[in-house]
Amino acid sequence: MTKKERYAAVVAYFSESMPVAETELSYGSPYELLVAVILSAQCTDKRVNMVTPALFLAFPTVQDMAKAKVEEVLPYIRSVSYPNNKAKHLVGMARRVVEQFGGEVPAERKDLITLPGVGRKTANVICAVIYNQPTMAVDTHVYRVSKRIGLAPSSAKTPLQVETELVKHIAADIIPKAHHWLILHGRYVCTARKPKCDSCGLTEVCRYHRTLSGRRKEQEASL
């Protein structure tokens, strides 16, 4: 199977099985999504969604967050990973958005990555989800699933290498949705330790599954 054929099969499968694919983070504005994505680094969306309602009630706008002190934000996010650093990032991010971008979350990746706590992955999420730009955020799920299926070469060593490959082969207009396809597939089906191949509709095109099947046949032949 060629790479083009594999990509076509994967897109066709998800288009049919997951026509609606969206972030599982709860948010009501670009500011709230940016806060949620910063908090989600090395933390589950479920946990983030548990802390953000009270956080957004206390700091409903980016201007409110910009006026806050780190020690005022910290109690609201103690249960997420790395709360001290993230509290600093949230306040620093908000102040920069207010001072440099007029209180509006910027729409360009080059501007977003200048904000405290915002790297390329977070910037790509904002660009895709809020501004519907063809940016592919590669988190651990996207990285793992892309390499397992064969959308990215097994030799890819960095998220940027995987991102470059995905953006090259997926049509621009569906990249924002494809990002969620891969995340959700990795979160619920192609899990890290025990992928649920028996309930996966991509086994026919999956490089990882083909390798597993080959190993099983070799083991059976040796018995």
Residues serving a catalytic function are 121, 139
Is 200 annotated as a binding-site member?
yes
The amino acid occupying position 187 is: R
Is 206 annotated as a binding-site member?
yes
The first and second tokens of residue 117, run together, are 């706590």
Is 43 annotated as a binding-site member?
no
∠ Cα 166 150 183 (to 5°): 60
Task: Map tokens 């969620």 to a residue.
Answer: 180
The first and second tokens of residue 35, run together, are 């806060």
Q: Pick from 25, 75, 85, 83: which is nearest to 54 by CA?
A: 75
How many Å apart are CA 167 and CA 135, to the nearest integer? 7
Is 127 annotated as a binding-site member?
no
Asked whether 29 and 64 are in contact (CB, 8 A), the reply is no
DSSP 8-state class, residue 136 = -
The annotation places the binding site for [4Fe-4S] cluster at: 190, 197, 200, 206
Binding residues: 190, 197, 200, 206
